[in-house]
Amino acid sequence: MPNPALILFDVDATLISTSRSGIRAMRLAANDLFGPVVDIDQVEFAGKLDPLIIADILTLGGLDATTAEIASFHARYRAHLAAILKDPSTEAIALPGVLNLLNALQTHPHITPALLTGNYADTGTLKLHACGIDPSRFPIAVWADASTSTPPTRDDLPGVGLAKWRKHAGNHAQARHAIVIGDTPHDIRCAKVHGCRCIAVATGPYEIDQLTPYSPDLAVEDLSDTAAVLQAIQTWTGPH
């Protein structure tokens, strides 16, 4: 009998690509507040939580990153993102192998697919729908605002996912049978903090040779080799 397994997928540049629509929407939201004088290219985006990205943009513009200011910017960002994703010129796609892998996971009832992402729930859901992925395929979702730390940190998120999973799988749900799949060193680190495995994918801003120094359990160009990814999952989560 296989052990219960949890697969925690990052969203942007791991599951999907939306032609940098999130960054474009953040830039428009910043322009609404500050005009073009604030250069958001100074802000790190890859693997970072949206509340932290917004706080950095507000600070660049000379505003205090209060809860109210972050919420206001979030609303502007959401509105711009929705408009961009509705534009026919915006390419929004599932990345290579993603749909096949998700379909394959559905045939293994002991495996729970989940989301672990720096996106807010509303904006992440918009992106997934635009790429033809139904968020309801993931019984567990851990969004950007799930961190309990101040300032928030991605390192908190796997712990939230594990706690939700244990409500479903009970004592059989163990961190060593949870696997984070992501495209940045942030994903690798947050997995290791909680004793989870990690598959690093080079579908984002980092090449494989930039990811391997962080010691993921597996590094792949993309998720197109469904059999190899499933084999790794089954090897790590099988009976011991």
Taking only the tens place, the pLDDT of each residue in 150-184 is 889 999 999 999 999 998 777 778 999 999 999 99
* CA count, 13 A, side-chain hemisphere, 62: 5
CA gap 234, 240 in Å, rounded = 11
Taking only the tens place, the pLDDT of each residue in 179-232 is 999 999 999 999 999 999 999 999 999 999 999 999 999 999 999 999 999 999
- Name the residue among 183, 236, 20, 222 with its Cα closest to residue 101: 222
Residue 187 near residue 206 (C-beta atoms within 8 A): no
Q: Strands 218-220 and 197-201, how do they pair?
A: parallel
* Sheet-wide strand order for 197-201: 140-142, 111-116, 5-9, 178-182, 197-201, 218-220
Phi, psi (degrees; rounded to nearest 5) at 124: -65, -40
